[in-house]
């Protein structure tokens, strides 16, 4: 049994009532008298020079109050395309009108002349010399060219020795490596440990494969929306549905070239983010500038089609992966070459290609990753950015290896897993981790070693890992005269983090959970806070809430000691009362009495403060096992069972934690089996829920969550971030299950029915 | 654009409005009447966030024109609870954690209410197909189905 009264309990969330009654106010629910509605007008070409933009007809439409283009951006920072467009749906400007339908009509009246340019949508084509060069990026060298270039540089510096033969040899090799000159590259990252080629030479078995993971949309249910009001003084207020309102403030300040203090951002309830609602997005700046132009409040809102055309989805990639193992299953070496499709904007989670190292110990590693431009919208974070993609490749290949060497896939993973003190390839040494415990918990939950399967059925297992961050954050705790406790902070809540904070404050101050409430401040009032993402919030804000509550408790004990004429060592806080620990007579003071008393003391009202900017977090791991049945005639896959274990450190609210696990699994299932943003020379061709299918209640049965608790040394009550790890192994879990069911392996996601049918056909058919 | 007079009830209140024929029922409910509990997630009838109950049937209100509501009875999320007393479906979503960001929740609750009003004995597999028009991106549906099953039990007991 838990020694805790409130943390560790699945209490309803602090926002439960407003969410189930429809009272919660989201971005689109913010309305003001006289408010105008913005509509962005967009490119209808995929790659083209802009010859002219004519807004004259649109301006004449009754109800239109302002039209803006890139010329209206004071700093000249790119908000709208001006010289050329790089994708279908790229914003060219925005209209503000009295009604959303009038704004839409006006946007359609804007005339744009283009000179079309050639289009490239495939990263493997885009890196070639004959591809259209989208942003005039310099070329980058591939892995082997990098090594040779470095050697040549070194040799040229070594004077006195005759290196000419070696230099000639290397130059000759370089001359044969033209296919390693990559075009359209926006960024690169490289990591290595040991000597990977030596590792492959020493391995008994070496397996290579190419893995293709599609671009997918976060599909937060609330499309992007912002409301802005420019005051006559020049000050701005922005109501934003965002994962972090402080980042919206700095983003707007940057684009407008104005001080932070001129902008107040109110973070409103947000309809999901999953990484897609960080920083300024399509709606913020248009709303602000249109409000400045008109002096009226302006709401800018995307619809779902615009979300697909012009959102910032999760990046797709192509990963070439090679792994060397010994016959007994010991992993020796692993090498990855990855090309991430960052679309028309530099970015993409290229650094997280390193996740191919997984939770395993091996001496030789090399990772080379590139972000490559294509004629698509830019990308941004999607739940553990980069990890599901890299781990799909890594855990698929590990499964293939298990089959080749005839080893059980769970045993193979268990054998290679790192423990505390083990060296992380190209990293530090492991702190205390729960990898093996979590794998065992999942395997035990399905009785793995006695698992059974019928015809066309298969089991898949995969392991994913993630480390939560810890951002700056602060909390104030006030204790009021009625004994109630109020927290005040500037952190956005999506997943129940406010609830975790309330539970922690209740625990520390020994009051019922219901007695604690929370106020979220806007950027003018609240202390600075990092954005809600990266699985940082419970770790960061749980810690700050605990610090703040402990600070308030200290003051309560001090006041009580004063009031009871004793020393602070002789009082204790329990059940919402401070009592004498050494008194004969049972004397005690309630929190409310102490709060009332505090008002007439020199110290004043009871306020506790917690503030921190960084604490070392702990690695989290998620293991998932799925059982599927594949119809070999239709290629349809039916999920029979999914078990998801996760090391969460400590579950402050088990219902919320399970919810994070279940939600991550279903998103991962969709990425593995269903979802893909599709592009051709016309741009995105499936910008809606009919052609971009996301899972519903009919697609996947209940997820069985298994909570594993290996406490994080610095986490509040040992808690780790839980939001992201749950999606990291899922893509591979289902791919491995399909392979076990069919005997064919699909490395090109999503595993749509036709791919299975075609693979079975070319494999000489065969259910097994 | 010329407006048309319509008369209908929303949560029991008579609404007599002049409505442009291009405005959806969703726009009328949210923008004209000001009840913002009903959400717009896709505008194409595919996500279910805008589900309301019209004459007893669940309807995606983004796919129905406001003028078509003339003479009908519309119930929104704001109309199914009383102060201090949630509808059993709301209560179950609250207790089971059947929501996270909450944006799909009003539509989901209305779809589930309409479903259980019609058949509180519906088996889980049929329930899963019947609720397949409502998209939730946060929960993975496990707790939503737990909530609807639990609400069904309460509604059967109350019947």
Specify the CATH number for the domain of residue A486: 3.30.365.10
CA distance A62 to B14: 32
Q: How many angstroms from the chain centroid is the CA of residue A37?
A: 30
Q: Tokens at residue A487, please?
A: 């927290």
CA distance A337 to A330: 22
Whether A483 and A568 map to the same domain: the answer is yes
Angstroms from A21 CA to nearest CA on chain B: 6
Strand order in the sheet with A516-520: A516-520, A485-489, A473-479, A606-612
CA distance A707 to A655: 11
A168-177 confidence digits (pLDDT tens): 999 999 999 9
A354-384 confidence digits (pLDDT tens): 999 999 999 999 999 999 999 999 999 999 9
Q: Tokens at residue A59, please?
A: 């301006």
**Strand pairing class (A36-42; A91-97):** antiparallel
Whether A533 and A580 map to the same domain: the answer is yes
CA distance A612 to A609: 10
CA angle A413, A417, A419 (to 5 degrees): 160
Helix (H) or strand (E) holding B47: none
Catalytic residues of A: 724
C-alpha closest to that of A478 among A294, A291, A316, A604: A604
Distances from the Cα of A299 to the Cα of A221, A501, A616, angstroms: 18, 32, 40
CA distance A745 to A722: 30
**Chain A nearest-CA residue for B107:** A22
In a domain, A162, yes or no: no
Q: Which residues contact A261 (CB under 8 A, 6 or more apart)?
A: none
Residue B49: list chain A partners with CB under 8 A: 221
Q: Computed from CA positions of residues A124, A127, A131, A134, in that sequence, does the dihedral angle turn out positive or negative?
A: positive
Q: Tokens at residue A224, please?
A: 């992007």
pLDDT at A638 over 50: yes
Angle (deg, nearest 10), helices A387-405 and A730-742: 30
Residue A304: list chain B partners with CB under 8 A: 41-44, 47
Residues of chain B with pLDDT under 70: none
Query: Chain A 491-530, CB below 8 Å of chain B: which residues?
Result: 494-496
Distances from the Cα of A153 to the Cα of A156, A170, A392, B17, B46, angstroms: 5, 11, 37, 79, 59
CB within 8 Å: A221 and B49: yes
CA distance A643 to A441: 10
Residue B38: list chain A partners with CB under 8 A: 22
Q: Tokens at residue B13, please?
A: 């209140």
Q: Choose the final residue of a domain: A283, A301, A319.
A: A301
Whether A454 and A536 map to the same domain: the answer is no
Q: CB of A241 within 8 Å of any CB in chain B?
A: no
The single-letter DSSP state of residue A232 is: T
ipTM above 0.90, yes or no: yes
Q: Computed from CA positions of residues B46, B50, B51, B54, in that sequence, does the dihedral angle turn out positive or negative?
A: negative
**Strand pairing class (A577-580; A588-590):** antiparallel
Q: What's the CATH code, domain B88-158? A: 1.10.150.120
CB within 8 Å: B39 and A28: yes
CA distance B78 to B11: 7
Q: Which domain holds residue A544?
A: 470-612
**Chain A nearest-CA residue for B94:** A16
pLDDT at A297 over 80: yes
CB within 8 Å: B140 and A659: yes
pLDDT at A92 over 60: yes
Helix (H) or strand (E) holding B95: helix B88-96
CA end-to-end span of chain A: 46
CATH number of the domain enclosing A100: 3.90.1170.50
CB within 8 Å: A688 and B42: yes
Whether A542 and A656 map to the same domain: the answer is no
Q: B125 burial class (0-12, 13-18, 19+ CB within 10 angstroms)?
A: exposed
B49 upstream amide cis, omega within 30 of 0? no
Residue B132: list chain A partners with CB under 8 A: 696-699
Q: A96 burial class (0-12, 13-18, 19+ CB within 10 angstroms)?
A: buried
CA distance A302 to A571: 57
Angstroms from B86 CA to nearest CA on chain A: 8
A324-358 confidence digits (pLDDT tens): 999 999 999 999 999 999 999 999 999 999 999 99
Whether A509 and A655 map to the same domain: the answer is no
Whether A460 and A478 map to the same domain: the answer is no
A466-504 confidence digits (pLDDT tens): 988 888 999 999 999 999 999 999 999 988 999 999 999
Residue spans of beta strands (DSSP E) within chain B: 4-10, 13-19, 51-54, 57-60, 73-75
Q: How many angstroms from the chain centroid is the CA of residue A609?
A: 29
Whether A483 and A448 map to the same domain: the answer is no
pLDDT attached to residue B10: 98
- In angstroms and rounded to an integer, the radius of gyration of the C-alpha atoms of chain A is 29
Whether A517 and A639 map to the same domain: the answer is no
Whether A628 and A680 map to the same domain: the answer is yes
Looking at domain B4-79, which CATH architecture does it have?
Answer: Roll (3.10)
Q: Which residues contact A487 (CB under 8 A, 6 or more apart)?
A: A475, A476, A477, A498, A501, A502, A505, A516, A517, A518, A519, A545, A548
Q: Computed from CA positions of residues A99, A104, A105, A111, in that sequence, does the dihedral angle turn out positive or negative?
A: positive
Q: CB of A697 within 8 Å of any CB in chain B?
A: yes
Whether A732 and A653 map to the same domain: the answer is yes
In a domain, A17, yes or no: no
For A437-470, the three-class secondary structure string (H helix, E strand, C coil) is HHHHHHHHHCCHHHCCCCCCEEEEEEEEEEECCC
Q: Tokens at residue A499, please?
A: 């609830």
Mapping DSSP to helix (H, G, I), strand (E, B) and coil, where does residue A34 land? coil
A649-666 confidence digits (pLDDT tens): 999 999 999 999 999 999
pLDDT attached to residue B153: 98
* C-beta of residue A314 within 8 angstroms of C-beta of residue A348: no
* C-beta of residue A290 within 8 angstroms of C-beta of residue A237: no
Whether A236 and A109 map to the same domain: the answer is yes
**Chain B nearest-CA residue for A62:** B1
Into how many domains does chain A fold?
3
CB within 8 Å: A697 and B132: yes
Q: How many angstroms from the chain centroid is the CA of residue A55?
A: 38
Which residue bears the tokens 């997918």?
A: A216
Q: What is the mean pLDDT of chain A?
A: 96
pLDDT at A583 over 90: no
List residues bridging with B51 in a β-sheet.
Answer: B60
CA end-to-end span of chain B: 48
Residue spans of beta strands (DSSP E) within A81-160: 84-85, 91-97, 111-116, 140-141
Q: Summarize the confidence of residues A697-725 as an average pLDDT.
A: 96
Higher pLDDT, A163 or B26: B26
Q: Choose the final residue of a domain: A586, A612, A638.
A: A612
Q: Which residues contact A153 (CB under 8 A, 6 or more apart)?
A: none
Query: Chain A 94-153, CB below 8 Å of chain B: which residues?
Result: 100-101
Q: Summarize the confidence of residues A212-233 as an average pLDDT.
A: 97
CA distance A738 to A740: 5
Mutate to test the interface with A, among B140, B141, B145, B149 (most CBs of A within 10 A): B140
**Chain B nearest-CA residue for A664:** B140
Residue A694: list chain B partners with CB under 8 A: 135, 137
CA distance A563 to A597: 9
Mutate to test the interface with B, among A221, A306, A494 (most CBs of B within 10 A): A221
Q: Summarize the confidence of residues A596-614 as an average pLDDT.
A: 94
Which residue bears the tokens 């499709």?
A: A341
pLDDT attached to residue A766: 46
Helices then strands (H, E): number in chain B? Answer: 5, 5
A545-576 confidence digits (pLDDT tens): 999 999 999 999 999 999 999 999 999 999 99
pLDDT attached to residue A40: 98
Residue B35: list chain A partners with CB under 8 A: 22
- For the beta carbon of residue A261, count every other beta carbon within 10 angstroms: 11
CA distance A485 to A517: 6
Residue ranges of domains in chain B: 4-79, 88-158
CA distance A664 to A657: 11
CA distance A489 to A478: 12
Strand order in the sheet with A84-85: A84-85, A48-54, A111-116
List residues bridging with A193 in a β-sheet.
Answer: A365
Q: Is residue A602 very low, low, confident or very high in pLDDT (cuts 50, 70, 90)?
A: confident
C-alpha closest to that of B140 among A439, A412, A257, A624: A624
CA distance A444 to A27: 44
Distances from the Cα of A599 to the Cα of A548, A559, A578, angstroms: 19, 11, 17
Q: How many CB pairs under 8 A join A and B?
A: 181
The single-letter DSSP state of residue A365 is: E
In a domain, A106, yes or no: yes
Angstroms from B126 CA to nearest CA on chain A: 9
**Strand pairing class (A263-267; A457-467):** unpaired
Angstroms from A102 CA to nearest CA on chain B: 10
CB within 8 Å: B22 and A101: yes
C-alpha closest to that of B158 among B67, B97, B89: B89
Q: How many angstroms from the chain centroid is the CA of residue A635?
A: 31
pLDDT at A768 over 50: no
Whether A436 and A519 map to the same domain: the answer is no
What torsion, rounded to 10 degrees, do the Cα atoms A622, A623, A624, A625 define? -170
Mapping DSSP to helix (H, G, I), strand (E, B) and coil, where does residue A697 land? coil
Same fold, B4-79 and B88-158: no
Which residue bears the tokens 């839980």?
A: A722
CA distance A65 to A70: 17
Q: Choose the final residue of a domain: A612, A628, A649.
A: A612
pLDDT at A70 over 80: yes
pLDDT at A584 over 90: no
Residue A722: list chain B partners with CB under 8 A: none
């Amino acid at each position: 049994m838990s020694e805790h009264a409130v943390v560790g309990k699945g209490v309803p969330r602090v926002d439960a009532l407003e969410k189930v009654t429809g009272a919660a106010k989201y971005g689109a629910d913010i309305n003001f008298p006289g408010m105008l509605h913005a509509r962005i007008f967009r490119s209808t070409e995929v790659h083209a020079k802009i010859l002219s933009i004519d807004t004259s007809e649109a301006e004449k439409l009754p109800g239109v109050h302002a039209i803006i283009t890139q010329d209206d951006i004071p700093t000249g920072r790119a908000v709208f395309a001006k010289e050329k467009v790089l994708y279908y749906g790229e914003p060219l400007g925005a209209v503000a009108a009295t009604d959303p339908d009038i704004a839409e009509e006006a946007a359609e009246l804007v005339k744009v002349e283009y000179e079309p340019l050639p289009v490239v949508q495939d990263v493997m084509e885009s890196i070639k010399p004959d591809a259209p060069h989208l942003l005039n990026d310099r070329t980058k060298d591939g892995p082997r060219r990098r090594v040779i270039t470095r050697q040549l540089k070194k040799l040229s510096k070594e004077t006195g020795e005759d290196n000419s033969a070696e230099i000639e040899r290397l130059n000759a090799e370089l001359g044969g490596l033209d296919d390693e000159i990559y075009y359209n590259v926006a960024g690169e990252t490289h990591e290595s440990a040991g000597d990977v080629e030596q590792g492959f030479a020493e391995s008994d078995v070496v397996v290579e494969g190419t893995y293709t993971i599609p671009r997918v949309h976060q599909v937060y249910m609330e499309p992007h929306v912002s409301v802005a009001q420019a005051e006559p003084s020049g000050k701005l207020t922005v109501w934003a549905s965002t994962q972090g309102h402080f980042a919206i403030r700095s983003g707007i300040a940057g684009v407008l070239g104005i001080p932070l203090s001129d902008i107040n951002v109110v973070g409103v309830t947000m309809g999901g983010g999953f990484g897609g609602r960080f920083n300024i997005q399509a709606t913020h700046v248009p709303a602000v500038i249109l409000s400045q132009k008109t002096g009226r409040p302006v709401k800018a809102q995307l619809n779902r089609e615009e979300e697909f055309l012009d959102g910032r989805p999760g990046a797709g990639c192509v990963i070439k992966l090679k792994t060397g193992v010994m016959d007994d299953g010991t992993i020796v070496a692993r090498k990855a070459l990855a090309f991430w499709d960052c679309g028309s904007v530099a970015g993409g989670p290229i650094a997280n290609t390193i996740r191919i190292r997984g939770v395993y110990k091996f001496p030789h590693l090399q990772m080379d990753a590139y972000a490559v431009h294509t004629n698509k919208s830019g990308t941004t974070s999607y739940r553990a950015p980069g990890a599901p993609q890299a781990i799909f490749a890594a855990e698929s290949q590990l499964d293939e290896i298990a089959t080749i060497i005839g080893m059980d896939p769970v045993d193979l993973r268990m054998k290679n897993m790192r423990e505390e003190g083990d060296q992380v390839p190209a990293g530090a040494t492991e702190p205390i981790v729960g990898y093996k415990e979590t794998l065992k918990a999942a395997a035990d939950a399905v009785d793995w070693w006695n698992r059974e399967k019928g015809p066309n059925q298969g089991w898949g297992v995969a392991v994913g890992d993630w480390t939560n961050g810890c951002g700056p954050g602060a909390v104030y705790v006030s204790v009021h005269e009625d004994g109630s406790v109020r927290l005040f902070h500037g952190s956005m809540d999506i997943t129940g983090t406010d609830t975790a904070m309330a539970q922690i404050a209740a625990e520390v101050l020994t009051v019922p959970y219901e007695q604690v409430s929370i106020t979220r401040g806007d950027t003018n009032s609240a202390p600075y806070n990092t954005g809600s993402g990266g699985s940082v919030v419970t770790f960061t804000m749980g810690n700050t809430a605990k610090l703040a509550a402990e600070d308030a408790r200290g003051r309560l004990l001090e006041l009580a000691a004063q009031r009871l004429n004793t020393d602070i060592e002789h009082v204790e806080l329990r059940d919402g009362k401070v009592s004498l620990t050494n008194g004969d007579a049972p004397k005690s003071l309630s929190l409310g009495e102490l709060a009332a008393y505090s008002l007439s003391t020199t110290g004043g009202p009871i306020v506790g403060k917690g503030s921190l900017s960084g604490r070392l977090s702990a690695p989290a791991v998620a293991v998932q096992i799925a059982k599927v049945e594949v119809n070999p005639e239709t290629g349809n896959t039916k999920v029979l069972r999914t078990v998801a274990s996760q090391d969460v450190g400590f579950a402050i609210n088990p219902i919320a934690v399970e919810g994070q696990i279940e939600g991550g699994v279903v998103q991962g299932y969709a990425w593995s089996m269903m979802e893909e943003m599709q592009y051709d020379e016309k741009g995105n061709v499936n910008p809606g829920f009919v052609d971009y299918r996301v899972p519903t209640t009919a697609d996947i049965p209940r997820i069985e969550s298994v909570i594993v608790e290996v406490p994080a040394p610095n986490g509040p009550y040992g808690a780790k971030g839980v939001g992201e790890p749950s999606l990291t192994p899922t893509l591979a879990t289902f791919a491995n299950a399909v392979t076990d069911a069919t005997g064919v392996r699909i490395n090109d996601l999503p595993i749509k029915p036709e791919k299975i049918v075609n693979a079975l056909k070319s494999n000489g058919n065969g259910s097994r | 654009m010329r407006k048309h007079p319509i008369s209908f009830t929303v949560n029991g209140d008579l609404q007599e409005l002049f409505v442009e024929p291009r405005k959806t029922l969703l726009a009328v409910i949210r923008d004209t009447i000001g009840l913002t509990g009903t959400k717009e997630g896709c505008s194409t009838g595919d996500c279910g966030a805008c589900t309301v109950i019209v004459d007893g049937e669940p309807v995606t209100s983004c796919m129905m024109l406001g003028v078509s509501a003339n003479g009908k009875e519309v119930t929104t999320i704001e109309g199914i609870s009383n102060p201090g007393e949630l509808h059993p479906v709301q209560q179950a979503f609250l207790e089971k954690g059947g929501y996270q960001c909450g944006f799909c929740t009003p539509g989901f609750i209305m779809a589930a209410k309409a479903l259980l009003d019609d058949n509180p004995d519906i088996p889980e597999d049929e329930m899963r197909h019947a609720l397949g028009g409502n998209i939730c991106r946060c929960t993975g549906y496990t707790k939503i189905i737990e909530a609807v099953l639990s609400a069904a039990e309460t509604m059967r007991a109350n019947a």
